[in-house]
Amino acid sequence: MFTDLPDAPVEVADLWDSSMAERVGTMLDGTHRVAFVYRSPDTSTFRYRVSNTVDALNHAPGSTLRAGWFCDDELRALTRLVPQLDAIVVARYPYNAALRELIQKAEAHDVPLLFDCDDLVFDVGFAELVMSSLGKDPEVNAEWDVWFAYMGRLNAALAACRGALTTNSLLAKRLAAYVEDGAAVVPNVLNRTQQAYSRDLLDAKVASGFRCEGPVTIGYFSGTPSHVRDFAVASTALARLLDEDDDVSIRIVGYLDDLGALEPHRERVEFQSFMHYVALQRSIAEVEVNIAPLSHTAFNICKSDLKFFEAAAVGTWTVASHTPSLDDAIDDGVTGRLAKAHEWDGALREAVELARDAQAYAARATPAAEKAHARWAWDSVAEPLTRALEPYLRAR
């Protein structure tokens, strides 16, 4: 494990810690104004698709475009501002009465709406697949009620939009079938605080020569309780690795209690509870190997590359399942390792051996980190997002 790393900032001001008045003021300061709507701030979709993008737009040098985000109890107040807007981005917001009023006002003033979604959850034809991917019990009628209602309401919101934004080309292709203007890819990125602390962590590892202490630690950062099936892709290989190698341990962060094949080795598994996303960067930085296993479903192959770039940014090697986004992000064997279902044993052994050779590890992890800090930098999203919004910006 990597030690002697800088502590996370004690007080982190989240990008969404602001009043509506402050956000409106910033947005209206621009020559062009875009409002993002989302149900309620959270550390997952909201952070990546709304908070990070709004912050990047508002800090892009020389840009005349400004943005603001608004949540459930602010939509009716936002409706009064519609005549002053160029566009509204509906970010994974299910159709309801407040959104209907906003849509009607936007239509009356010819303000276009764009739908932003980062998962395959806007077509009820995939409801059963989504339930299966998330480990929901199909024998429970309430699950069908929840997922058909949620996905149907997202589809109704999508139907009111002219264009769409999403994280990768696969989702863009599916969304394009629903919107007149097609769908644009706007990638997930780090945010300013996350990237700055990741750089501090990386610099400390570089300064130490990537020196490790104790067992090689493999980290799984699950995020949600629904990843049991994904973890199972790697758990058998992890169990075999621990059978063979007494100097390897596992760290699991988030909501995963079912260890599957790894259960006999529970005493060698460290559990950490879900934590603030900035503090999470240190937990990822401490382990030598980050794993991102995904079961092969239409739902999962639409996932983004964030599990790779958040680890790469702190100088941690990743072994990941193949998906189009991860295949594009990882130069296999150079900046990380891609593994098919039958390749996890070999990929994990290779990663452990790499971790035990500090010089070889540094030679791969450092360039991968620099790539992450460039390609997924907090400000890198401003250009593709501005390009996607440009057709909707009116002359004022």
Residue range 174-202: mean pLDDT, rounded? 96
Contact at 8 Å (CB) between 86 and 259?
Answer: no
Tell me what the pLDDT averaged over the chain comes to: 94
pLDDT of residue 77: 95
What is the per-residue pLDDT for 226? Answer: 56
Judged against a pLDDT cut of 90, whether residue 299 lies above it is answered with no
pTM of the model: 0.93
- Inter-CA distances, 181 with 3, 157, 162, 165, 302, Å: 50, 16, 6, 11, 21
Partner residues linked to 318 by β-bridges:
290
Q: Is 186 helix (H, G, I), strand (E, B) or coil?
A: coil
Q: Please say whether the dihedral angle defined by the alpha carbons of residues 220, 172, 24 and 156, taken in this order, is positive or negative.
A: negative
Q: Mean of the pLDDT values across residues 331-350?
A: 97
pLDDT score of 148 more than 70:
yes
C-alpha separations of 146 from 96, 124, 143 in Å: 15, 11, 5
Q: Give percent above pLDDT 70 in the chain.
A: 98
For residue 15, is pLDDT > 90?
A: no
Average of per-residue pLDDT across 295-324: 94
Contact 386, 57 (CB under 8 A): yes
pLDDT tens-digit series, residues 356-394: 999 999 999 999 999 999 999 999 999 999 999 999 997
**What's the pLDDT band for 396 if we cut at 50, 70, 90?**
low
- Please write the tens of the pLDDT for every residue from 240-277: 999 999 999 999 998 777 888 999 999 999 999 888 89
